[in-house]
Amino acid sequence: MTPYASINKVSKRFGQHRALDGVSLEIPQGGVLGLIGPNGAGKTTLLKAMLGLSSFEGEIDILGRSPRRSRHELMQSVGYISDVGILPSWMRVDQIIQLSASVHPNFSELKAWEILEHTQIQPKQKIKTLSKGMITQLHLSLVLAMDVKLLILDEPTLGLDIVYRSQFYQQLLETFLDGTRTLVISTHQVEEIESLLTHLVFIEHGRLRLSETMDDVFERFSALDAPSASLATVRSLGPLSETPTLTGASFIFDSITADALEGLGERRRVGIAELFVGMMGPDLRSVS
């Protein structure tokens, strides 16, 4: 299948700082791609380049179009929620829905109202009177009412409480994902999207550190909870990372056979957060 997006050797500089450094990536049809990286890694810069919102070197093709040259045509098939509440605060809820329906050929006003029915948001409310969580709900209802193939979410739940975050992902699962549409999501709350992901991308200092399907990630990386007695043996196998625990340590291995770890501790599936911390180096102790 032709990928929805092809990113080829994309670089972006801000003065002396290289925000993106030769990033190449393919985003397939269908599935959920998680873009994970620390602050300043280049996640937002990459997403903005994909949306034609910033200049860059290299080539980007989204759904057969250049985002820089054909942004407005592209946005008929692409939805976007950015990392901050960017809905115009002076607008009323009914106005923003009416306007979206007027300018977007694939927008269903009915669907937007159906989604909003399950929230506390009132049609005549001004956006500036809504809480941060409600603004995110409204924005999500707008992009879900657009019949788009690719939805790009940049830290969509940043600053929301756990109830809103849970509702947000539940809504996405129920309304958007149908096997053919693709969701690209950049977030700090890795654990919340772990179960949704089909593809995983790690980015650091503007470079991709990992780009795999989740099946490949679980096949390639292994986690081992080892007791104190076997620590020396485990360390000799060259783990990617080691995190002390109450009874010993947790290790992550890259490309190691199950036989090699046999009898050294409890082998389990690697978590994305621990893999991220393990790959990004010893100084990084939280996904931030």
Partner 1 sequence: MNTVNTLMALGLREIWEHPNLVWRLPVGLLVINVTLALLSVVFGLNYLGSADLNLSLQTDVNIADGPAEAVATFFCLAFFLMGQLVVLSYLLGALFQERKDRSILFWKSLPVSDLEVVLSKLLTGVVLIPLVYLLIGFITFLMVALVLWMGLSSFVEELVSGPSLLSAGVLVVGDWLFVTLKQMWWGLPIFLWILLVSSVARSQPLFWALGLPLVGLLIESSLFSQTVVSSWFWAHAQPLPLAAGFDHAELLGGPMIGPDSVLSGVVALVLGALTMLGRRYCNEI
Write out the residues near partner 1 by the rule CB under 8 A.
48, 51-55, 71-76, 79-80, 82, 84, 86-92, 95, 99-100, 102-105, 139
24/55 with CB nearer partner 1: 55
CA 198 – CA 209 distance, rounded (Å): 17
Tokens of 166: 């849970």
Closest C-alpha among 15, 87, 10 to residue 45: 10
In which element (H, E) is residue 250 found?
A: strand 248-254
CA 45 – CA 19 distance, rounded (Å): 7
Provide, rounded to whole angstroms, the least separation between the CB of residue 84 and partner 1.
6
Provide, rounded to whole angstroms, the least separation between the CB of residue 207 and partner 1.
24
25/148 with CB nearer partner 1: 148
In which element (H, E) is residue 215 found?
A: helix 214-220
105/263 with CB nearer partner 1: 105
Provide, rounded to whole angstroms, the least separation between the CB of residue 171 and partner 1.
18
Evaluate whether 229 touches 63 at the Cβ level (below 8 Å): no
Evaluate whether 280 touches 272 at the Cβ level (below 8 Å): no
42/79 with CB nearer partner 1: 79
The 10 Å Cβ neighbour count of residue 120 is 11
Provide, rounded to whole angstroms, the least separation between the CB of residue 94 and partner 1.
10
80/251 with CB nearer partner 1: 80
CA 40 – CA 144 distance, rounded (Å): 29
Helices (H), 25-108: 43-50, 71-74, 93-103
Provide, rounded to whole angstroms, the least separation between the CB of residue 87 and partner 1.
6
Provide, rounded to whole angstroms, the least separation between the CB of residue 110 and partner 1.
18
98: burial class by Cβ within 10 Å (0-12, 13-18, 19+)?
A: middle
